[in-house]
Amino acid sequence: MKVLVTGARGQLGQDVVTIFQKAGHDVIACDRKELDITDLERSRKVVSTHGPKIIIHCAAYTAVDAAETDVDGAYLVNAVGSRNIALAAEDAQAKLVYISTDYVFDGKGEQSYHEYDNTDPQSIYGKSKRAGEILVQNLCSKWFIVRTSWAFGLYGNNFVKTMLRLGREKPLLQVVHDQTGSPTYTVHLARFLLDLAATEKYGVYHASNSGACTWYEFTEAIMEEARELLGWPITATLEPCTTDQFPRPAPRPANSVMEHLSIRTNGFEDLPHWREGLRQFLLAMRHDPDLYLQ
């Protein structure tokens, strides 16, 4: 089946391309150079030329803090760009998978958020991604909205790579211990997208690795696994701290744990535990860590 991937050179996009190709699909990998999603006519032309049956929309403005001052830029990509892809998908009668985020919730609840809880994004990034969700739902007839969280993979920058580097360079690391979420290995997410896109079980899905932890607990696990699996000299001492000690331009959700209600009720296999995702990530980069830690 022909599959078009936007943001194909991003952290998730590269794994999506690889996973779908290995499954035998004809993948059209589009990054900004091949497909400027902010250009409606260009989006329609590229999609109509290739005629995909599935579009995996990974392209996004993800600079959470920068979005607080670059409001137009965030909405241009996450809202207008997603509208353009939704219209192009509808023209082609293609299924559309829109990748969204835990930031569409306010993060103030004590329970895990399920797919049908009311959204209330607090940051410009979260608001722009929620705008993209609404546009996809209203303009496209075959849609999947997949919210994920705390993504990490081999390609691009992410929290795991940063901690691996700092753990070897710094004597002391202070890491936030009052924000809880579910780390997600992009390979596991891409495999779920492969299973999901093959169906007509349209709707909103929460797809993160199972289990939850704080950023501090995640960092502890990163260092433990790096020592055990890779034999790396991780020497930094960890110290928990609060969000207030490290103020950022964009508010972070204190609780971004998401319930996987739709995965269960639609008969899909849940994603593995986040610790298993971390181990698989470290093993994947074991043979050439310098390539992935640049």
**Could you list the active site residues?**
125
Torsion 213-215-217-220 (CA) sign: positive
Contact at 8 Å (CB) between 271 and 192? yes
How many other C-beta atoms are found inside a 10 Å radius of the C-beta of residue 243?
15
Torsion 256-261-263-269 (CA) sign: positive
Q: Regarding beta strands 95-101 and 184-185, do their DSSP bridges make them parallel or antiparallel, or are they unpaired?
A: unpaired
Q: 3-class SS at 67?
A: helix
Question: Torsion angle, CA of 88/92/97/101, rounded to 10 degrees?
Answer: 10
* Distant-in-sequence, close-in-space partners of 77: CB < 8 Å, separation ≥ 6: 37, 38, 59, 60, 61, 128
User: In the block, which residue shows the tokens 């698989």?
Assistant: 280
Contact at 8 Å (CB) between 231 and 289? no
